[in-house]
Chains A and B, each alone.
Chain A
């Protein structure tokens, strides 16, 4: 149980375009989802916390107008990287929290390459 999926697993796009990444909890309802970014050989950096039906809470230094997060249902959160640039190339990972548990379950990640 507690499976989280992400789509796409990888994407290559041209500079200036927008890319949408989906995060789904497959067998449970996730009240809270988190979005992380991981650059090569670095740690996971929390970008934002997403709660169903409300606006996402962004970490300091993360541009909310560039990284649009929509948590429309208890099983789906989306991250849209708008006007992507090469420096946005990274591994984006979502995670979901099950109920009131303290743990979270990670998606497989999406590797974004912006040319």
Chain B
């Protein structure tokens, strides 16, 4: 089955700096890679996603890149703000296995003002 690894587990940056979170996946059949932001005690919120036929996607301060050959994908947050502090999860899913989504272990991002 699919296995998703995520690094780093904790990331601390100064306000205004960039933050990068990296993930790898194992199942070459996976074709959808969402990123979620979760605040304490709340549901995961989709912040950006990318499909396997695209190498990069950007939405304001957030961008995601995908390297299908290497099975790597990354989240880039620029001009970080204190309200970006949360836990971020990468995930992978595909047409096989009933579209189930497998999550990475999460990255706790701290943005210091």
B72 within 8 A of A: no
The smallest C-beta distance from B79 to any residue of chain A, in angstroms, reads 26
Are the CB atoms of B106 and A43 closer together than 8 Å? yes
> A32: which B residues are within 8 A, CB to CB?
98-99
Interface residues of A, Cβ cutoff 8 Å to B: 32, 34, 42-46, 49, 51, 57, 91, 93, 95, 97, 102-104, 106-109, 111
Are the CB atoms of A97 and B99 closer together than 8 Å? yes
Are the CB atoms of B49 and A103 closer together than 8 Å? yes
B105 within 8 A of A: yes
Are the CB atoms of B100 and A103 closer together than 8 Å? no
Binary flags per residue of B85-104, CB closer than 8 Å to A gives 1, else 0: 00001000100011111111
> A108: which B residues are within 8 A, CB to CB?
42-43
Are the CB atoms of A102 and B44 closer together than 8 Å? no
The smallest C-beta distance from B8 to any residue of chain A, in angstroms, reads 14
> B49: which A residues are within 8 A, CB to CB?
102-103
Using a CB-CB cutoff of 8 Å, which residues 36-92 of chain B contact chain A? 41-46, 49, 51, 89
Are the CB atoms of A44 and B100 closer together than 8 Å? no
Q: How far is the CA of A34 from the CA of B102 in the complex (A)?
A: 11
Are the CB atoms of B103 and A44 closer together than 8 Å? yes
Asked whether A51 and B98 contact (CB < 8 A) given A43-B106, A103-B46, the answer is yes
Asked whether A43 and B104 contact (CB < 8 A) given A102-B32, A108-B42, the answer is yes
> B31: which A residues are within 8 A, CB to CB?
102
> A104: which B residues are within 8 A, CB to CB?
99, 101
Residue of A nearest to B104 (CB): A43
The smallest C-beta distance from B99 to any residue of chain A, in angstroms, reads 6
The smallest C-beta distance from A77 to any residue of chain B, in angstroms, reads 14
> B102: which A residues are within 8 A, CB to CB?
46
Sample 9 A-B pairs with CB under 8 A, ordered by A number. Answer: A34-B100, A34-B101, A42-B105, A43-B105, A46-B100, A102-B32, A103-B32, A108-B42, A109-B42
> A49: which B residues are within 8 A, CB to CB?
97-98, 100
The smallest C-beta distance from A104 to any residue of chain B, in angstroms, reads 6
